[in-house]
Amino acid sequence: MKLNNLIISNRILLKLKSKHNVDVNEIEECFLNRTKGLLIDTRLNHKTTPPTYWFISSTNVGRELKIVYIELPDGRYEIKSAYAPNPTEVRIYAQYA
């Protein structure tokens, strides 16, 4: 299934591929496979308006990714990053999501 409400800039696409080896299909799968809630990134260096949300979910082949995005007023999601979460992020998500 293709999600039509994701926005990913060319700069972010390049970073996702070169730095994190993540593609758009994996991001879509994580959105569709999410089973827990969303968290808001409240760190000062990462605060945005609208707020930055994140979640951890698995792709269809079981690869766990942290998806970071903002929800635009029109309901679309602007992807800021996607990568394999570190143990601290996994713990925080398990505890608070």
The string of pLDDT tens digits covering residues 35-69 is: 999 999 888 777 778 899 999 999 999 999 999 99
Domains: count for the chain:
1
Which residue range(s) make up the domain with 76? Answer: 6-96
Residue 76: half-sphere exposure toward Cβ, Cα within 13 Å:
9
Task: Report the range of poorest mean pLDDT among 5-9, 65-69, 85-89.
Answer: 5-9
pLDDT at 43: 80
Domain contains 18: yes
Q: Where are the alpha helices (DSSP H) in the chain?
A: 10-20, 24-33, 87-96
Q: What is the CATH number of the domain that holds 19?
A: 3.10.450
pLDDT band at residue 2, thresholds of 50, 70 and 90? low
Structural tokens at position 85: 């979460």
Asked whether residue 13 is domain-assigned, the answer is yes
Decide if 29 is inside a domain: yes
**pLDDT of 30:** 98
Residues 19-40: pLDDT tens digits? 999 999 999 999 999 999 999 9
φ/ψ bin of 21: left (φ > 0), alpha (ψ from -120 to 50), beta (otherwise): left
15 is a domain residue: yes
In a domain, 57, yes or no: yes
pTM of the model: 0.92
Which pLDDT score, from 0 to 100, does residue 47 have?
76
With respect to residue 1, please indicate whether it lies within any of the assigned structural domains: no
> Would the pLDDT of 1 be above 80?
no
